[in-house]
Homo-oligomer: A and B are copies of this chain.
């Protein structure tokens, strides 16, 4: 079939499945998740064989080893994916929760109830673990899902989705619960982003290019995720040992994640005291330092930072460092270059800690803690479908409730207006 036919067919399947999923019990959904987890482990070898094809093609195409590592599945990783599904079983099902209720003077009883979105479209890169993760989170929240992973992972994804679908059927749920767009044509993604009739929400997961493409082309509502140009600001009054610990953690504990800092801001009164030791330690850990002029004069081993450095998400062992004259300048810098993801101040001053919390416009604003805590797991959500950097619907880490909408149920006895 042509890709247009495939898209429409899968859109219809998903929409139809979503109507059934919306009224499926938690027990049945959990049962399906358990069968899905079992099936993945049982068919691990098939998955690895499919994955090998992707890896071979990627090597031929000259893919970087770091990306090949993200693509690669072995037995342990398959077991991890299955365990991820089992964890979702334990999470509370948000569907059906009564968010609020009211009885109006005319006797109408209005209940605001959590319901699934319907059909969620996930557009992502060549990471087969996202296939399983997204399928599990969507199923638990009563949503059908249409998956469109990177073309480099297509063989892995086909095998995985085939296995998941078999388990879903065995559980008595419709096969359209989990759908994979198999055509790798780029035009197909653009078409998917306009399937308003069948898709209720699109969530892109991946790098800046992918997210911009989705934002630009989608007429379906999008939840923007995950670009993080995050900062630590060391105030003129700060515990220097704490400032060192937080900065080193926020930069080096996992540089490829969006909640890692890219820029360190330091008040000028602290710079000479803290920078030589802190930047020396960071260099010792393999971090390249790109500094403003004043930083270079204090720490000559820093490379000169260019204007574009301040807005760059390195996702790597690189840190830009800027000395600022005041708290206000730090806030200005963050407002200008930040991506509204995660921002931290290290200070012992109460008034400025409160001002930072109020004035910084970001999903997560920290006082005296590492930005690395912006994470569904760390927030206690149990699971995370991504970190929203937009203000509509969800902001910051998105757990299960963020994969739902609501509706109003109104019970009357003949009221007219």
**Residues of A near any B CB (own CB < 8 A):** 19, 22-23, 102, 104, 108, 110, 115, 117-118, 196, 200-201, 215-216, 219, 221-224, 239, 242, 245-246, 248-250, 253, 335, 353, 357-359, 361-370, 372-374, 378-380, 390-393, 395-396, 405-417
Contact = CB atoms under 8 A, between A and B. Distances in A.
Given A110-B379, A379-B110, A391-B200, A407 B373 contact: no
A391 B19 contact: no
29 contacts: A19-B361, A22-B359, A108-B369, A118-B361, A118-B391, A200-B390, A201-B391, A221-B390, A239-B414, A248-B416, A249-B417, A250-B416, A253-B416, A253-B417, A357-B409, A365-B407, A366-B411, A367-B410, A367-B411, A367-B412, A368-B414, A369-B410, A370-B415, A370-B417, A372-B417, A392-B392, A395-B405, A395-B408, A396-B408
B246 A414 contact: yes
A393 B395 contact: no
B380 A104 contact: yes
A365 B335 contact: no
A330 B140 CA distance: 29
A361 to B, nearest CB: 7
Nearest to A116: B391
A221 B392 contact: yes
A414 B242 contact: yes
A23 B358 contact: yes
Nearest to A360: B407
A407 B249 contact: no
A416 B242 CA distance: 9
Contacts of A367: 410-412
A249 B110 CA distance: 19
Contacts of A368: 411-415
Contacts of A362: 407
Which of A110, A222, A224, A408 has the most chain B CB atoms inside 10 A of its CB? A408
A392 B407 contact: no
Contacts of A117: 391-392
A19 B369 contact: no
A216 B216 contact: no
